[in-house]
Amino acid sequence: MTAMDVGFVGLGAMGRGMAGSLLAAGHRVRVWNRSPGAVGELVAQGATAAAGLPDAFAADFVVSMLADDAAVDALLLDPALLAGARASVHVNMATVSIGLAERATALHAEHGIGYVAAPVLGRPGVAASGELNILAAGEAAALAQVEPLLTAMGRRTWHFGDRPAQAATAKISTNFLLACAIESLAEACSLADANGVRPTDLVEMLTGTLFPGPVYSGYGSMVAERRYEPAGFRLPLGLKDVGLALTAGAGANVPLPFGSVLRDAFLDALAHGDGDKDWAAVAAVARRRAGLPA
């Protein structure tokens, strides 16, 4: 394998593991983060600290993993930054809106930079082990150039088309379904608990029969045990993704009636001080509605 020169922007819970996977695969990685602590952690693993965003974009390729549209817009869609960039392709691995994906694609094209959207499925531990599922879309030539980087970070790359907005759409749809699954688990467990059935027994039966797999077993145990910390995916990010789904639905005239229920449940959880907990803590709202201890 030929080592690639990569700038990595965004060293949060997911980004640290992803950058570490690139280093483990033998790539040369220069890292940048708004807070310096995570930079030191990656430098200790063999990365180079970028002097700033222009230095990160002076690499042959850039990978970014930021929290939301606002962060991507403010930090990475600066025309001056892109005009001075040496990078040939930017891979944005954050979950962002369809509108931002379209704007980013056009702006990068204006400056001769390929743009690939590659949001991921997996929690921080999965990112650290290089076992993410990656949902990718972009021009074929750009995807081919960055395929070794995606391979280093993920167990499989799922291709959704030649427009980056297609990958954004796939990820928004996926996270909307995950939120629906958590809410339905919460309501089912509340129904069971209110009628004398232990939620843990219900989840054990469900995951051993009708609903095997990581979503119902993982989130099911968290909901049944009311175990919402440590947060693998913080509740405010869940609210953000439900909002992205509602916006995408409105833009395409696709009603998402359950999305409004989810949005209000997440807001209820935030209002009750659960913002630092995992998004599975939305289950506490279903318990409160049922008159059960949250």
> Given CA atoms 70, 125, 41, 64 in this order, what sign does their dihedral have?
negative
Phi-psi region of 179 (alpha: psi -120 to 50; beta: other; left: phi over 0): alpha
Residue 276: both structure tokens together: 């630092």
User: Of these residues, 16, 27, 30, 171, which one is catalytic?
Assistant: 171
Q: Are 206 and 220 in contact (CB under 8 A)?
A: yes
Give the CB-side neighbour count of residue 286, counting CA atoms within 13 A. 23
Active site residue 277: no
Taking CA atoms, 215 is separated from 53, 208, 262, in Å, by 36, 13, 17
Alpha helices in 136-210 (DSSP H): 140-153, 164-194, 199-208
Residue with tokens 């403010």: 74
CA angle, 31 then 34 then 35, to 5° = 95
Coil vs helix vs strand at 8: strand
Strands 28-32 and 114-117, by their bridges, are unpaired
Q: Are 193 and 170 in contact (CB under 8 A)?
A: no
Instruction: Give the residue among 23, 68, 124 at the shortest CA–CA distance from 8.
Output: 23
Catalytic positions, please? Answer: 171
